[in-house]
Amino acid sequence: MIEHLVQTISMSYSTTEDRLEMRCRSGDCAHSLWLSQRLWKRLTPALIKWLIDSGVGSPQAGDFIRQSMSESVAEPVIVPQYEPVKSVVTNMVTADSEPSDVDPAVKWVPETWLCTTANLSMAEQKIRIQLVSERSEHVYVLSMSALETGHFLIAQRQALKESEWPFEWPNWLQTESIVQPDESVRFLH
């Protein structure tokens, strides 16, 4: 098993694949991870419950999360020869990139990677998500604070706006008040 600690994520929804794509940067490599609707619907309520149990969930906490996202932008995950229609960024997420922006130090790992299992470890201050695929020896780990988890969920909500995945988002994760710099790209941090 080869474990990758995820540093930055860019998210987008693929209508062709009907999956949530997470382009992740780990060290000097960029990876593309795919989540199915079924796995996503099992993972997301657990993240929301952990946030609520951690004390996040009030309108004030939601306002703080949205404000912190609108004030900062993460560095993008640059992927050579990749042109997504839309993407959402949090610093656990990023924007479109031109091939000329490609960092030569970042190596793209072209392996198609579909997450089949998400293992959660929850502590009071951090949540650890281990994404596993039965078809790969690579394992991706996201370690996030409550604020980062809030950013991660809001980024997912933004990326999935065009999907037909039904989901009842809590009011404190609503993002309508976030000012977007561009209609085609939403930056979240």
HEC string for 19-39 = EEEEEEEECCEEEEEEECHHH
Q: How far apart are CA 66 and CA 128, in angstroms?
A: 22
Does residue 177 have a pLDDT over 50?
no
- Residue 173: the pLDDT is 76
Triad 39, 40, 44: Cα angle to 5°: 125
Query: How much of the chain exceeds pLDDT 90, in percent?
Result: 34
SS3 content of the chain, % helix, strand, coil (to 5): 25, 30, 45
- Residue 166: the pLDDT is 92
**Listed residue (48, 27, 57, 71) closest to 149, CA to CA:** 48
- Residue 28: the pLDDT is 86
Give one word for 91, left, alpha or beta, with left for phi > 0 and alpha for psi -120 to 50.
Answer: alpha
| Residue 184 CA from chain centroid, whole number | 17
Domain boundaries, the chain: 2-187
Q: How far apart are CA 94 and CA 186, in angstroms?
A: 8
Residue reference for tokens 């977007």: 180
Specify the higher pLDDT residue, 94 or 103.
Answer: 103
- Residue 101: the pLDDT is 46
Query: How much of the chain exceeds pLDDT 70, in percent?
Result: 66
- Residue 180: the pLDDT is 46
pLDDT in tens, 58-97: 666 666 666 666 665 555 554 444 444 444 545 554 334 3
- Residue 70: the pLDDT is 60
Find the mean pLDDT for residues 42-61.
83
Find the mean pLDDT for residues 110-121.
89
Burial class (CB in 10 A: 0-12, 13-18, 19+), 151: buried
- Residue 33: the pLDDT is 93
Burial class (CB in 10 A: 0-12, 13-18, 19+), 187: buried
Lowest mean pLDDT among 25-39, 48-62, 156-170: 48-62
pLDDT in tens, 117-164: 999 999 888 999 999 999 999 999 999 988 889 889 988 998 998 898
**Listed residue (144, 133, 127, 108) closest to 7, CA to CA:** 144
Q: How far apart are CA 70 and CA 67, in angstroms?
A: 5
Helix boundaries (H) for 107-187 = 146-159
pTM to 2 decimals? 0.73
